[in-house]
Structures are given as C-alpha cells and as structure tokens.
Amino acid sequence: MEIGFVGLGKMGLNMGIRLLRDGHRVVAYDRDAEAVKKAEETGAIGVLSLEEMVGKLSPPRVIWTMVPSGATTEETIRKIAALATKGDTIIDGGNTRFQDDVLLAYELEKQGLHYIDVGTSGGIFGLESGYCLMIGGNAEIIKQCEPIFRSLAAKDGWARVGGHGAGHYAKMIHNGIEYSMMQGYAEGFELMSKSPYQFDLANIATLWMHGSVIRSWLLELAQISLSKGPNLSQLQGYVEDSGEGRWMVLDAIEKNVPVPALTAALFTRFRSRQEAPFSEKMLAALRNAFGGHAVKKKPIP
C-alpha cells in the first residue's frame, strides 16, 4: 500500500521505517525539514507541505498522523481534511482523548472522509519489536488498512477494539495501568535501597524476570536503568505525564469506579515536579502549632 505519514518524531520515523521494510510506499511530512531529510534517507518520499503530500498520494488516500495530542492533532487533521477528497482515510495514531475522536469522526464523515483512531504502544523499541495497536472505527475501513497495521504491529499485536474512540480509550486505560505498575516498581526498589542488605538492585531485577509473577518489560527496563547507575544519581526525580492518566481518573469519577492505585501514581507525578511543596510546609506549621514540635526554617538570605 501507499501511505502518507505526518509526524516524524521518536516514534513516527521508526514507524515509517517499519512500513518501508515491508514494501509500502511512504510519503513523509514533518514541520521540521531535518526530520524529513532523515525519512528520505530511509527510503521515504519526503515532502515539505501537506499540500505536496496529498498531491503525491493516489486516491483513495490513507494518511497517518503521529503528532502531539490536543490542538496540534486537531489542527493537522482538519488541514488534511480540507485537502482530501471523498473516500480518503485519516488515521490518528497519537494520544487523542477518546471523546474528541467521536467528534472528529462525525465531522469527517460529513465530508465523505473516514477516520480511524489507533492507540499505539511500543515506544522507541517498536521499530524492531513491533507495536501494539488498539484500533477504533468502522470495521470495513479498518479491514482495508489491514496491510498497514500488520506491518507496524508485533505478532498478534493489533486488533479492532470497537467503534470511533475505542482505540484511544483502550490506550488511555493501558497508560493508566502503566502508571500504576511503574509506581509499584519505583516504591519497591526504593524500599530495597534503604534495607540493611545492600542489594544489587539490577541483579534483583534480573532475577525477577525469570519465573517471577511480577516479570514484565517494564522490569527489564528497570534492570537496564539500574545497571547504568544503581542509585540513579544521574537523574532528577521529576516525572511528567502525557495526559491519559488524568483522563482516566476523570472517566472513573464519572462512572463511580474506584481507581486508587492509578490516582496515587498520578498525584505522585505531580508531587515530583514541586520543590518544597506548600502543603508540606503547612504540615510542619500545624505540627509546630499544636504540639510545639521543632520546625526547620529557611536561612535568611
């Protein structure tokens, strides 16, 4: 097949390479001209505008967007839609909020265009290992794009999970679980680092990957990170979030579903970005006020 690919970042470029390896014709675009050059070096046809991309694809076209979620994704999809012709398909492989997928699909359908949302997992290792693709949209249109999904996915790593929005909903839940798993590993390894046994943490991670009930790819990545520096002194304890964890908490509140592990993991990420949080100063002040307990005061500059 031939496919237009928009967004050549750390995942997008690798996805394009994987498609090229399977013989697909890839027309690649990114706002960064250097990223387009890199795509050309891998065998893609590089273009410097969406207009040029649409012109180099034969209808009915398939165009995959892999750009930051939110306004950037919506703006990009609407620009493509304005250039597309009836019967073209736009695939969003980013992290769009599932409610927005439903609106986009409805909007594009009125123009005679098809929309597929794909929750994409695999990170920078997807180039060699393949991706896990959670796909939402019309079953017939998804079937037409099956060669693309087969080329990108790991063995048995793609499936239509439902209608419009279902792909990104499944990815939202996936990322929420990921937050909780990461937090569990982080807290367990911290406790071991404070134990009296002087554990080789990388060795423990390696051990747990063989027959343990908590073995996982995340644990493999923990082993790699701990091997580079057992105390992780090269890093700051600052953790961002991509948004899906927040959306999952909000969705859980709407549905009255308790998700305490995810919520704690998400809030811990918020705390990691604060230096001397006000709430902890308030705790110190209250403890001093009711019990006369000592407080540590900042030095006067």
pLDDT of residue 296: 84
- Whether 284 is covered by a domain: the verdict is no
- Whether 114 is covered by a domain: the verdict is yes
Question: Are 153 and 23 found together in one domain?
Answer: yes
Q: How many domains does the chain have?
A: 2
Q: In the predicted model, what is the mean pLDDT of residues 141-146?
A: 98
pLDDT in tens, 226-269: 998 888 888 888 899 888 999 999 999 999 999 999 999 999 99
pLDDT in tens, 65-85: 999 988 999 999 999 999 999
Q: Has 171 been annotated as catalytic?
A: yes
Question: Are 32 and 100 found together in one domain?
Answer: yes
- Whether 301 is covered by a domain: the verdict is no
**pLDDT at 176 > cutoff 90:** yes
CATH number (domain holding residue 24): 3.40.50.720
**SS3 of 221, please?**
helix
CATH number (domain holding residue 176): 1.10.1040.10
**pLDDT at 301 > cutoff 70:** no
**pTM for the model:** 0.92
2-11, 106-115, 225-234, range with the lowest pLDDT: 225-234
SS3 content of the chain, % helix, strand, coil (to 5): 50, 15, 35
**pLDDT at 159 > cutoff 90:** yes
Question: Are 177 and 107 found together in one domain?
Answer: no
Question: Are 63 and 141 found together in one domain?
Answer: yes
Q: Which residues form the domain of 122?
A: 2-163
Calculate the average pLDDT of the chain.
94
**pLDDT at 300 > cutoff 80:** no
pLDDT band at 1 (very low <50, low <70, confident <90, very high): very high
Q: In the predicted model, what is the mean pLDDT of residues 106-119?
A: 97
Q: How far is CA 231 from CA 90, 218, 219, 220, 237, in A?
A: 45, 18, 16, 17, 12
Q: Has 255 been annotated as catalytic?
A: no
Q: In the predicted model, what is the mean pLDDT of residues 52-57?
A: 97
149-163, 180-194, 224-238, range with the lowest pLDDT: 224-238
pLDDT band at 294 (very low <50, low <70, confident <90, very high): confident
pLDDT of residue 246: 95
d(CA 131, CA 216): 16
CA 113 to the chain's CA centroid: 26
Reading across the β-sheet that carries 131-136, which strands appear in turn?
Answer: 45-47, 25-29, 2-6, 62-65, 89-92, 114-121, 131-136, 153-162
Q: In the predicted model, what is the mean pLDDT of residues 1-14?
A: 95
Catalytic residue among 171, 187, 240, 255: 171
Catalytic residue among 2, 74, 178, 220: 178
pLDDT in tens, 37-47: 999 999 999 99
